[in-house]
Amino acid sequence: MSTDPTTVPADLDDAALAAELVHRAGALAAAMRAEGLTGARKTSVSDVVTAADHAAEELVVSVLARLRPDDGIVGEEGAEAPSRSGRTWVIDPVDGTYNFLAGLAYWCSALALRDDTGVVLGAVHQPVTGERWLGGRDLPTSLGGAPLEPLADLPLEQVCLATYLHPTRLADPALREPWLAACEGAATVRMLGSGSCDLAAVAAGRVGVWAQPLVPAWDWLPGEALVLGAGGRTAQVDVRGTTWSVAGRPTAVEQVLSALTR
């Protein structure tokens, strides 16, 4: 897989372009990690950035600027361009950077396309496993090009809940209490450190539901598209002044929303 942005074919449709870009971004980041990287703190010891984050974002931006010049761009690492088309690409070049830098497998490159009515499509590539998800509003979610089975509906008590709450947030009852209420009803809970990997796992039926507060667009939209394309439900709700994002099997989502807002 070439990481040269100029070799991306100009005739790809949006879905194929998204799949190609996350593959290339992930390959570039993985190659840079293999050569050795150091991280810099953003907001905390667990919120870090590396040269690979920046290089992978620059790769995606350069291709989009060439092939979709009228579309807007928003990137986690600061890339920004206004939209003249009403469409915007949202980039997370390395989601799960703490895992990535520590040598863990649970990280990915993620990309979403949104328009004035919401998310259109999302793509997630997990380089260590070689798995690539693609799906969205009018695009049934696939894994490695093979369509996924639509998500069967299950209640919260029968499924795994994936979530995240930074330890420093536990002191805030407005966050801690809803979070504990949601976790208490699940069969089991996982905190793995990559929202897009978590949501891809939800779309694939490996995790039943995902719930997290304070989620930026690049951690939400790629995976939201995958869950919608797999027949799941997604929602964002205000809880005590904070927006929570929830996605997964419909009944489990409804139960999480009830727990968060009770």
**Which residues line the annotated binding site for Mg(2+)?**
76, 92, 95, 219
Going by the annotation, the residues of the binding site are: 76, 92, 95, 219
CA dihedral sign of residues 235, 136, 149, 142 = negative
∠ at Cα 156 (262, 219), nearest 5°?
80
Measured in degrees and rounded to the nearest 5, phi and psi for residue 4 equal -75, 115
Coil, strand or helix: which one is 61?
Answer: helix
**Cα–Cα distance, 102 to 210 (Å, whole number):** 24
What φ, ψ does residue 123 adopt, rounded to 5°? -135, 140
Backbone angles phi, psi at 257, to 5 degrees: -60, -40
Residues 6+ apart with CB under 8 A from 43: none
How far, in Å, CA of 108 to CA of 26, rounded? 7
Amino acid at 68: R
| Cα separation values, 217 from 4, 119, 149, 195, 227, Å | 27, 10, 26, 11, 15
- Of the candidates 54, 90, 57, 60, the residue with the CA atom closest to the CA atom of residue 72: 90
Residue 149 is given by DSSP the state: P
Helices (H), the chain: 14-35, 51-67, 97-102, 173-184, 195-203, 217-229, 250-261
| β-strands 118-126, 131-136 pairing | antiparallel
